[in-house]
Chain A
Amino acid sequence: MTATLDRVDVPRTAPARGRSRARARHRLTVLAFLAPAAIGFALFFGYPLIATVVFSFTRYDLINPPEWIGLENYAYMFGDKLFLTAVTNTLWFVVVLTFARVVFALGVASVIARLKSGVGLVRTLCYLPSLAPPVAATLVFFLVMRPNDGPLDVVLGWFGIQSPLWFADPAWSKAGITAVMLWVSGDLMIIILAAVLDVPQEQYEAAELDGAGPLRRWWHITLPSISPVLMFGVVNSIILALQLFTQAVVAGSAASGAADLTGNTKYLGFPENSTLTFPVWLYTQGFRYFDMGYAAAMATVLFVISFIATAFLVQRMRRASHQEEGGPGA
């Protein structure tokens, strides 16, 4: 037998009208409370976003009125070799940096979580670099990793190892920047640490009674428990990689001996465009070549890619979270 519910039109009675008015009032109240945030969102997110999309169909030199050119900017991308270079470089960071950052932060957090003493000190020391300004952090790494007389090169030399040229070598420059980014990933480490510490101890104790060793406990209890946080770390790292700018500019400038130069004398992308990330090329087109229309088209493409990647991962994250709660997919 199938139970059905037939809709019955009931004449509106006085209490029903009252409920309707109350609902409208409630809706207005909610809207009033939302208004400041909604207006801010519209002004500082909606407006720039729509303006960027509109500008992407124009030729715009920042000074004169934009001139409508349809899809020309998008068509130009396909023939722009440096656009493809920038996309490739950024994809490299999206894959390598995202993986390395999450694994590194998880590793450090897992170690700190097991420390018996000095936890506060170690946690602070691991977190502190994330407060360093990106320019300073990159320059520090540049000096530490400088060939011939940098401390890292000297130490490796003691073991008879010749270090790579790091920022000066197109094959290693992105790895050098990744090292900087790992050093300043204390913020993610703290978030993961909080999640690790939040895993109920009873689960560990039960697993221990069942004979599970530390590695199996970590694999079967810790990891599944913190998977939503790890997924957040992945999304966060992807966005970070997609927006990588300062470290790439500083590393390239320092490697070309031009860290102390200003303006256009800096060589963006040095060496051999290996540090030319998508945002760096976007900035170059917009502010150094004065082609804001093309830069806007690039920004639109970046937004769409980021949106799709984030939406996909958030969906995965929700599904994973749902499974963990014993939902239909479990």
Chain B
Amino acid sequence: MRKVPRAVLLCVAAAVSLSACAAGAGKSDQPGGLGAAPGKDDKFTLTVWSNYSAREQEEVTKALETFKKKYPNAEIKHEGSQDDDKITASIRGGNPPDVAMSFTTDNIGQFCSSGSFQDLKPYIDRDKVDLNQITDAVRSYTEYKGNRCAMPLLSDIYGLYYNKELLAAAGITTPPKTTAELLDFAKRTTKKAADGSIEVAGFLPNMLFYANRPPIWAPNFGAKWEGPDGKSSLATPEWAEMLKFQKELVDFYGFDNLERFRAGLGQEYSTDHAFHQQKIAMMIDGEYRTAFLKDQAPNVKFGTAPFPTVRPDLYGTGFTTGTIMGVPKGAKNPGAAWELIKHLSFDTPTVVSLANGIKNIPSTKAALADPGLEVDENFKTFIDLAKSTKLQGNPVTPIGDAHIKLIGDFATSWQSGKVSDLMGGLKEVDKQIDDQIAKSGK
């Protein structure tokens, strides 16, 4: 009698484990298909997920509503505050939105290689869309190994912000153009109290704080992520140069002193941000900061410029990234979803209006040149950078942001003086990145 329930239990366990595999496997079999474009007067509903919230969500909703000029009977449901975990879960659950917008550009490699986002090339070919309308750097971070599974929804570009009054007080009239000048100006604008503690830091070199992230700094030092063989190539003089620049400034402040100063600074998107509080004289940040400063710290007299570079010939380069949007696998209405994405990507009045609304950079050349784009003196720096051919996009890998974490961790160990062999350490990071990519099987 006792043998029967055990056998049954074993069968149940086997069935459960098999169904566990099947559960994962089944979801991937949904055909993406090439959806037909809807008719002009067709009645349809599109669900759009984004990670926008509050004011920005309202602006994006306004942009989505302009789609009705082409399809008057379309209904668009825009749901904000949806991150990539939710998008992935919805794809696995077989109930994804028609259009997914992701802030996490680092995930483009995974989205394209796994098929989470459908390949848009068939649509692009069918509709004869000219991708040259999009700037090169932006194109680079919206595809992976030739698989175009996403389109850009505006972009962010990083440059130098400087406090005019703090620089003027130190006798500096123009922003630095080289990292050597930045180093010099940072030292001259730093103010210390009688006890040696920092009151104002000329430039905060702490890696992984605010926008001090390796991918954002790298272009200005000519540092590349991959070698010709496609392997990670951080053990190069350029990366070493970048880290030495950082360490020299850390040593100027004294690591402990600097950490105590940094630990008391406000959060990146709060009104307590150190630049808003005039506790730092210069920093690297995205164009969106102009809107934050205007709104939260109108008394700060600031200027913007391309971020200084290690060599003069690199000047005018910078890092760019941005929101990406795609049609998730299993989307109910891919044809209409593509039409909406195309509209948001290339309809110049819509792109310009949204860029004005949320103070991001348009991702098409036509929108960048549009007279309707609101460009003040500080925002112009970023528009000029966007037009530059020196701009570099977000590094794309199939491992999310693993490569960024690994080099970021190394940089924080380096700045605290825990690394003695810089090149040896960078080689180790290369190995870790390559191992992680190899493990992904992509």
Contacts and interface: CB of A to CB of B under 8 A. Distances in A.
A269 interface: yes
A148 interface: yes
10 contacts: A46-B13, A53-B17, A61-B114, A62-B92, A63-B92, A65-B21, A76-B439, A168-B259, A258-B267, A268-B405
A263 B88 CA distance: 13
A54 B12 contact: no
Contact of A290 (B83, B259, B399): B399
Contact of A272 (B110, B268, B409, B435): B409
Nearest to A271: B412
Given A254-B267, A260-B268, A289-B399, A165 B259 contact: yes
B32 to A, nearest CB: 12
A291 B260 CA distance: 37
Given A47-B20, A51-B17, A260 B329 contact: no
A256 B88 CA distance: 27
Q: How large is the interface on A (under 10, 10 to 19, 20 to 34, 35 or more residues)?
A: 35 or more
A13 interface: no
Contact of B208 (A58, A167, A256): A256
B378 interface: no
Nearest to A63: B114
A273 interface: yes
A294 B24 CA distance: 15
A38 to B, nearest CB: 11
Q: How large is the interface on B (under 10, 10 to 19, 20 to 34, 35 or more residues)?
A: 35 or more
A213 interface: no
B426 to A, nearest CB: 15
Interface of B: 12-13, 16-17, 19-21, 23-25, 27-28, 51, 83-85, 88, 91-92, 102-104, 106-107, 110, 114-116, 208-210, 259-270, 329, 398-402, 405, 408-409, 412-413, 416, 418, 432, 435-436, 439-441
A256 B264 CA distance: 11
Interface in A36-89: 42, 46-47, 50-51, 53-55, 58-67, 72, 76, 79, 81
A272 B20 contact: no
Interface of chain B, main secondary structure: helix
Contacts of A258: 267-268
Interface of A: 42, 46-47, 50-51, 53-55, 58-67, 72, 76, 79, 81, 146-149, 165-169, 254-265, 267-273, 284, 287-291, 294
Contact of B263 (A42, A79, A146): A146
A149 B21 CA distance: 53
Contact of B408 (A55, A62, A267, A290): A267
A165 B208 contact: no
Nearest to A47: B16
Given A54-B17, A263-B51, A264-B400, A257 B439 contact: no
Given A62-B92, A268-B405, 15 more contacts: A50-B13, A51-B17, A59-B440, A62-B114, A63-B28, A63-B91, A63-B329, A65-B25, A81-B432, A169-B263, A256-B209, A260-B269, A267-B405, A287-B85, A290-B440
